[in-house]
Amino acid sequence: MPTGPGARRRSAYDVAARLTWTRHEHPLADLDTFNQTRAVLETRAHLELLVARGDAVAVDTADGRAYAPQSSAAITRPAVR
């Protein structure tokens, strides 16, 4: 799986856990189960979009789908307007 310097594969849950949620910037662990699920699914949707655009790669593993940035050369894309 191609990755940028220092990058590693992460699940949608791993990525969601590194973000803050709601306007009060709560960590994922502070949300109730329903909203944790929504946050992880929203994160997965964004990750799949990055894969479709070629900015990230995904691989299916025994533990589920994992994502990583595409090589740094592929990330330099013009802004979409």
Q: CA gyration radius for the chain?
A: 14
Write down the domain spans for the chain. 12-69
The Cα 29–Cα 18 span in angstroms is: 10
Dihedral sign for Cα atoms in the order 24, 29, 34, 39: positive
User: Measuring CA to CA, which residue among 48, 52, 29, 49 is closest to residue 39?
Assistant: 29
Look up the pTM and report it. Answer: 0.76
What is the separation of C-alpha 76 from the centre of its chain, rounded to a whole number of angstroms?
18
74-77 CB contacts, 8 Å cutoff, 24+ apart: 75/4, 77/53
Give the three-class secondary structure for 80: coil
Model confidence pLDDT, tens digit, residues 19-59: 999 999 999 999 999 999 999 999 999 999 999 999 999 99
Q: Is the pLDDT of residue 72 over 90?
A: no
